[in-house]
Amino acid sequence: MTPFSKYAGIAGILTGVALLLELAFFVASGFSATKVADPSQAIALIQNKELVLRIATFFGFAGAIVSIPYIAGLAAKLQDKSPTRATAVLYFGVLGSVGHALVALSYYLGFPALIALANTHLPEAINSWGSFLAITDGFQGLGNLLLGLMLGLAGIAIIAKGELPKGLGWVGAIAGAASVLGVVTTATVFGPVAYATYIPSVVLAIVFDVWAGRKLMVTSD
């Protein structure tokens, strides 16, 4: 096993930790679906919680960047026994990480611009929130969908071929299914399903990343 697997494992653990910190800071800021849906509340929130939100988004794009070598290492681990799934894991994972990075960077760079606009022309800032949200929601949907597919396919490959612990495979499969379900039910009559699956999908993704990262490190010894 090459040293790359060890570094990929470290990157996997860091990916999970970054995702946990991103979630924690977003929760601490009060950033919620209800407030985001109301432009006035959303602008007031980012004005009052700019620092906390920028810390959250920093962990968001940092985690997306560090996830790339982790995803490459995970795909390489699965390559011998599941070559087709491994290739899909690689491409879905990298493109999904780009989607998440775009969300985080849009927030990180966009919030200060919206705050500056709100300080001088509050109605214009409120009116622009909907357009800003539509773009970032698109990036978020892309990231969640592709990373959900990555987790699901990695989980199925692990369950089927036993390259890594089957428990890890089940965590990945469930996390992936929850993430994909959350995307396809958003803004539909099944909207409550999307809301209910969001936190569990993120928590399971964190567990998968840290567990997979640890296993990649161990198998590199």
Q: Round to whole Å and give the CA distance between 219 and 6.
A: 8
Domain membership of residue 112 as a residue range: 3-219
User: Which two three-digit tokens encode residue 201?
Assistant: 């999908």
Which pLDDT value is given to residue 221? 46
User: For the chain, what percent of residues have pLDDT higher than 90?
Assistant: 86
First to last CA, the chain: 7
Round to whole Å and give the CA distance between 73 and 94.
12
Where are the alpha helices (H) located in the chain, listed in sequence order?
A: 3-29, 33-37, 39-48, 50-79, 83-120, 122-161, 166-185, 191-219
Inform me whether the pLDDT recorded for 190 exceeds 60: yes
pLDDT above 70 for 220: no
Q: How many domains does the chain have?
A: 1
Question: Which tens digits make up the pLDDT trace of 8-43?
Answer: 999 999 999 999 999 999 999 999 888 999 999 999
Q: Above 80 in pLDDT, residue 219? A: no
Cβ atoms of residues 158 and 168 within 8 Å: yes
Whether residue 96 has pLDDT greater than 90: yes
Lowest mean pLDDT among 3-7, 61-65, 105-109, 162-166: 3-7
Residue 210 predicted with pLDDT over 80: yes
Return the number of other C-beta atoms located less than 10 Å from residue 209's C-beta: 29
CB 86 within 8 A of CB 157: yes
For CA atoms 50, 22, 93, 130, give the dihedral sign. Answer: negative
Q: Are 215 and 164 in contact (CB under 8 A)?
A: yes
Q: Is the pTM of this model over 0.75?
A: yes
- Averaged confidence pLDDT in the chain: 94
